[in-house]
Structure 1
Amino acid sequence: MPETWDYTLYIPNDPRAVTVCRRTLRLILTLHGLIGLVDTAELLAAELVSNAVRHTKGPAALRVRRTPEGVVWIGAWDTDPAPPDPPLPLEEVGESEDGRGLGLVSACAQVWGWQPSARFGDRGKYVWCELLAA
């Protein structure tokens, strides 16, 4: 059975938090021997966290955990309880920076979704994805 763990990084509503989350995630995965997932996981976490920071006004959080089945779960929590807009196919987005985040998540993760969740005493949601650890 794989080692399980669970980390949560609470962040302010600040675009610089995306870089903090990427670097923290890289460190977590490297220290747990999952270096092969780092590049994809960093991309996915950056998209999820940047959406949380860009589209809401409150605090946010990055949560990363490894399940007993060996799946790495990455989620970004934000203070907007509304579901995210459905992802656009990447070929429709083109070179535009807007609208590509969940398209990248959908293309790179095994599965993704969202769920209502409360943190900091605020209602909100997690937008999450899963990566299989080889």
Structure 2
Amino acid sequence: MPSTGPDSLLCPLITPTPRTPSTLASTHRPAYVPRSADPSALAYSFTVPGDPRSATVVRATVRSVLRTHGLTAMEEPALSVAGELVACATRFAPGQDLYHSLRWQEGALRIVNWDAHHAHSDPRQAAHCTACRKRTLLLLAAVVHECRGTWGISKPGSTTEGTRIWASLPLDGGA
């Protein structure tokens, strides 16, 4: 008969340690070990639908990540940046998946958004498209500037690579 206790949730290849009252305290490990509040452990990636309503999910996720890692002072600029990235991506790749990445690199929060909008083969169309994205991201640019950060749009390499926009918010400027 299959076990229905807490150990039944483990991989069937794992042999659980027998639990007796004397060993229970020394062998018990929680099912989930929270990540460190240290920002250097911050590394998250997730995908949301290319829909304007996804901004709510992205902002809630960013807020949760920042609070988990003790970076509440950076909440407002990071939430603004994340929301602007979703707004822009849903305009250029509506209905397509949007990939987000949050990383701590060299004392800064790096937020990356990737969407499936591909490169234009005509250089004039590509330049026009990039200029439209930059106009769409004026609020993002202002927030990043105020935080003494950097941002950019990576050039798509082929028709399947999509477009990646990133922003880096330093801790001292973001707070």
TM-score, length-normalised on structure 1?
0.78
Q: Using the alignment, how far apart are the partners of 1:56 and 1:71 within structure 2?
A: 28
1:132 aligns with 2:143: no
Q: Give the number of equivalent residue pairs.
A: 118
Q: How does 1:1-134 map to 2 (within 5 A)?
A: 3-57=40-94, 58-67=96-105, 69-82=106-119, 84-85=130-131, 87-88=134-135, 99=136, 102-109=137-144, 110-116=149-155, 122-134=160-172
Corresponding residue SS for 1:14: coil
List gaps (5 residues or longer) in structure 1. Answer: 89-98
Coordinate RMSD, CA, aligned: 2.2
Q: 1:117 deviation in Å?
A: 6.4
TM-score, length-normalised on structure 2?
0.61
1:69-111 alpha-carbon deviations (Å, 9 max, x no partner) = 11100111100134632634xxxxxxxxxx3xx1111111111
Q: Once the two structures are aligned, what percentage of the paired residues are identical?
A: 31
List gaps (5 residues or longer) in structure 2. Answer: 1-37, 120-128
Q: By percentage of residues, which structure has more strand? A: 1
**Range with greater deviation from structure 2 (7-16 or 75-84):** 75-84
Q: Using the alignment, how far apart are the partners of 1:87 and 1:115 within structure 2?
A: 12
Q: Where do 4+ consecutive residues of structure 1 move more than 6 Å?
A: none
